[in-house]
Amino acid sequence: MKTSRLAVLFASVLVDMIGFGIVLPLLPFYAESMGATPFQVTVIIASFSAMQLAAAPIWGRVSDRHGRRPLIVAGLFASSVSYLIFGLAQTLWVLLLSRLAAGAAGGTISVAQAYVADATDEEGRAHGLGLLGAASGLGILLGPMIGGFFATWGYSVPGYVAAGLCAANGVAAIMLLPESRGTEERRPEAGEASTMRGWFRAMVRFPLSLLLSVYFLCITSFTAMTAVLALYLERVFGLGASAMGIVFSIAGGATVVVRGGIVGRLVRKLGEPHTVRLGAGVLAASILAIAWLPGANWLGVVVPVWAFGTGILFPSLASLVSRATDRQSQGSILGGSQIVGGTGRVLGPIWAGLLFQHVGIRSPFHVGAVLVALGVVLALRIPSPPARHAEGRGAGRAGARPGDGAQGAGAPAEAGEGSR
């Protein structure tokens, strides 16, 4: 994949996630200034993930038929509009509308993943997906700093800043980002997921069903851990909000380093299946270790370790999901994986909160470690992905401009998890 194309895609995800990070920390205070109750605040926050969960497979499916570039551009401008609505909001209903619109626009993360899957070879795919995760993590790291600075002029001002950034990035994408798919690849009947029945069959067949099971177990446990971490550390070590900000900043910085510079090299050395097993094993150990930390200083060791585990695990899983289907169905299948990930991100905090309150403050970490360990056991059955040889690499150049390479420089959740 030509470096300039990857740079534009990286910037698109980075700026979109900066916008997300700008408004998210301010949202509870902005809502309360309009008279929101705590429950209404949580509903407004959850509305983003719910809409993203619904939109991701639709965006992916449409991009399979009409190309990635127009969907990525549309998503950036849709994000801009959502942040503009955020800045103009005077009532809770309008604020809720802004988050629903932002969640719908955020569904394009599966399109960005599919773009790189189109334009890379097998060897570079996990590295590229890791770079998208690094862009997402860096955006979330920088966004709150920018938002906090502009919030001194009012809660609405960061919304306008985020809107301007996304609009400018949309213009840049129009001028600089080429389409990744040729006309032939966009035939509706071409892919195995061209119909809803075909999409469902693809999602439940081996090895895709196995990969998505591992993904669900790991992402639900990871989000469960992060959901109750602040409460646990406050009760055990007396850490407050400022200390938690440092903890998550360390995690974000370590994630950017791992996804941006380590995961590609590790996959080239071990292969995706072994990298998934290593990442899941490290994540299980770090979740369990949190429950038995002898002192708060040990967070400086455990937090980078968990960042390493997730940083190599989720991009490798996304790469395997991409390689488990045909090139015409990348957007649909990667969008489907966002459904699985989104469900895990919704359920994880719920079961963690119930265990924390009714069983014991260490119980979410114990259960999470067991679930990820189960994911490791399932990951032992992941087969090595079949190589597409010359055909796959030729297809990876589809839609490239004359002179574009397909060197496999690389190509969310989580999503980003690392994603949103």
**Structural domain boundaries in the chain:** 3-181+197-383
Identify the pLDDT of residue 401: 32
Whole-number Å distance between alpha carbons of 400 and 78: 26
Among the listed residues 365, 382, 371, the one whose alpha carbon sits nearest the alpha carbon of residue 277: 382
Q: What is the pLDDT of residue 377?
A: 96
Whether residue 400 has pLDDT greater than 50: no
Helix axes 363-379, 208-237, angle to 10 degrees: 160
In the predicted structure, residue 419 carries a pLDDT above the cut 50: no
Per-chain mean pLDDT for the chain? 78
Tokens 């999503």 belong to 415
Q: Residue 341 above 60 pLDDT?
A: yes
Secondary structure, 3-state, 72-114: HHHHHHHHHHHHHHHHHCCCHHHHHHHHHHHHHHHCCHHHHHH
What average pLDDT does range 341-350 have in this prediction?
81
Residue 410 pLDDT: 30
- Looking at residue 217, its pLDDT comes to 96
16-52 pLDDT, tens digit each: 778 877 877 677 778 888 988 766 776 777 778 778 7
**In this structure, what are the phi and psi dihedrals at residue 22, rounded to the nearest 5 degrees?**
-65, -45
Give the model's pLDDT for residue 192: 58
Report percent pLDDT > 90 for the chain: 21
Residues 219, 347: Cα–Cα separation, whole Å: 10
What type of residue is 223?
T
Chain segment 93-132, per-residue pLDDT in tens: 999 999 899 888 876 777 777 787 776 666 666 667 777 7
Torsions phi, psi for 382 (to 5 deg): -65, 120
pLDDT band at 367 (very low <50, low <70, confident <90, very high): very high
Task: Assess whether pLDDT exceeds 60 at residue 200.
Answer: yes
**Token representation of residue 302:** 């455990």
Give the contacts of 52 (CB within 8 A, at least 6 positions apart): 103, 104, 106, 107, 109, 338, 342, 420
pLDDT digits over 238-292, tens only? 877 567 767 877 887 888 888 877 888 888 888 889 999 999 999 999 999 999 9
User: Per-residue pLDDT averaged across 170-199, rounded?
Assistant: 67
Q: What is the percent of the chain where pLDDT is above 70? A: 80
Q: Are the CB atoms for 40 and 92 separated by under 8 Å?
A: yes
Q: Please name the amino acid found at residue 323.
A: R
Whole-angstrom CA distances from 61 to 132, 199, 394 are 20, 10, 22
What three-state secondary structure class fits 314?
helix
What is d(CA 65, CA 35) in angstroms, rounded to the nearest whole number?
Answer: 44
Report CA torsion sign: 115, 118, 120, 123. Answer: positive
Q: What pLDDT score was predicted for residue 246?
A: 76
State the architecture of 3-181+197-383 in CATH terms.
Up-down Bundle (1.20)
**pLDDT mean over 85-92:** 92
Q: Is the dihedral of CA 340, 342, 343, 347 positive or negative?
A: positive
How many whole angstroms separate alpha carbon 96 and alpha carbon 46? 10
Which position has the higher pLDDT, 270 or 13?
270
Alpha-carbon distance of 134 to 254, in angstroms, equals 10
Written as one string, the DSSP assignment of 152-212 is GG-TTHHHHHHHHHHHHHHHHHHHH---SS-TGGG-TTSSTTSSHHHHHHHHHSTTHHHHH
Which of the residue ranges 75-84, 136-145, 406-415 has the most confident prediction, judged by mean pLDDT? 75-84
Q: Whole-structure pTM over 0.75, yes or no?
A: no
pLDDT of the residue at 414 = 37
pLDDT of residue 420: 41
Residue 77 pLDDT: 92
Other CB atoms within a 10 A radius of the CB of residue 231 amount to 16
Alpha-carbon gap, residue 363 to 179, rounded angstroms: 48
